[in-house]
Structure 1
């Protein structure tokens, strides 16, 4: 008798299924693929928005440097992380000059001379005020007419460029002026700005100059 129970139960279940067919089950794989596609589109849209914001910040900073509008330049310094300056493409956090935003604001109008690094070739320390450094070293050429790139290097010399290692995952811009033919194009120069978003605005955390070194 017990042996008859199982076949009867199976037959009953099959009959019930025929009378009450189940609704089609949604394709889970398709749903996941659609969700992933939407997330990618959203990420791409966000990246496009970031690129626009970074480009605008880059151009505003260049214009401020050209006009010696250091008040506007200061407004782009990261409120919490401050700003670092590298004279050449090799970034050395232990030796490069770093300011908090408050210290930069306090010292920018003064005649205080800071040591920004060592001159390539001679090794002599480069000492000058903030305004002179910004006007004579950082903006040594009119970079408002330079070639722009985002997260991509256009120029490189014989010195180590470790920006991506020191600032991993950060957006950076490069403003590159090609060298002249009479100097074998070795007199190129570039400014790189490293950005970090804070409370919806792009702020500077580093200014890295680069040029051909001996």
Structure 2
């Protein structure tokens, strides 16, 4: 009789376990949590988009300041490449343009390129990629400049056709005010032009501007 009771208890426990034991009790685990994509999404609210563009603007300027041109290449648009304009007027045919692959190929070399004609003298400006970026593009510490998004701060007598040339793009401006010594005519600015590609913004153009004759 005692053995019979023990058998019945064991059988009851087995049935109970069978009813509740088919499905594992899974708890949320950090390792299975989907990682958020921190790339810039162009569908995000305007204030978030503005913050994202300010962030990438600052990153590009810091990379230029550090002369870290290998990292700079990671900001270049994978399909459209990048165009460099010496002054406010963007010359689609005449301004120097690189695909991302060509920029990465020639940046470490001493290859000389013609970037455009200098205002006033009309002399061709010839330099390596590194010299152009270091001496012309980042001729001032633009990390300390006045920032603007999709609005112009600096302006001289040079035709500014940026919005007409890149109508679908966003651009940032970083402006260094001129000095009293030169009647504030020695101002300089850099405009970074961005377009989205697969949910992230990339550089398609770098436009410098300054007082021209």
Calculate the TM-score normalised by the size of structure 1: 0.78
Distance 1:167 1:136 in 2: 25
Counterparts of 1:45-64 in structure 2, within 5 Å, are 46-64=45-63
Deviation of 1:86 after TM superposition, in Å, equals 0.1
| Structure 2 unpaired stretches of 5+ | 1-41
Q: Residues 62-95 of structure 1: CA distance to partner in whole angstroms, max 9, x if unpaired?
A: 0000000111111000000000000000001010
Distance 1:145 1:57 in 2: 15
In the alignment, what sits opposite 1:106?
105
Residues 168 and 195 in structure 2, CA contact (< 8 A), matched pair in contact too: no
Counterparts of 1:48-197 in structure 2, within 5 Å, are 48-197=47-196
* TM-align CA RMSD: 1.3
Partner-residue secondary structure (3-state), 1:191: strand
| Structure 1 unpaired stretches of 5+ | 1-42
Residues 85 and 206 in structure 2, CA contact (< 8 A), matched pair in contact too: yes
Deviation of 1:46 after TM superposition, in Å, equals 2.1
Deviation of 1:111 after TM superposition, in Å, equals 0.1
Partner-residue secondary structure (3-state), 2:139: coil
Q: Return closer, same or farther for 1:179/1:103 CA change in 2, 3 Å cut-off.
A: same
Calculate the TM-score normalised by the size of structure 2: 0.79
Partner-residue secondary structure (3-state), 2:45: helix
Distance 1:69 1:104 in 2: 13
Distance 1:45 1:107 in 2: 36
Q: How many residues align?
A: 172
Q: Return the structure number with greater helix share.
A: 1
Distance 1:133 1:94 in 2: 19
Q: Residues 30-83 of structure 1: CA distance to partner in whole angstroms, max 9, x if unpaired?
A: xxxxxxxxxxxxx99522222111111100000000000111111000000000
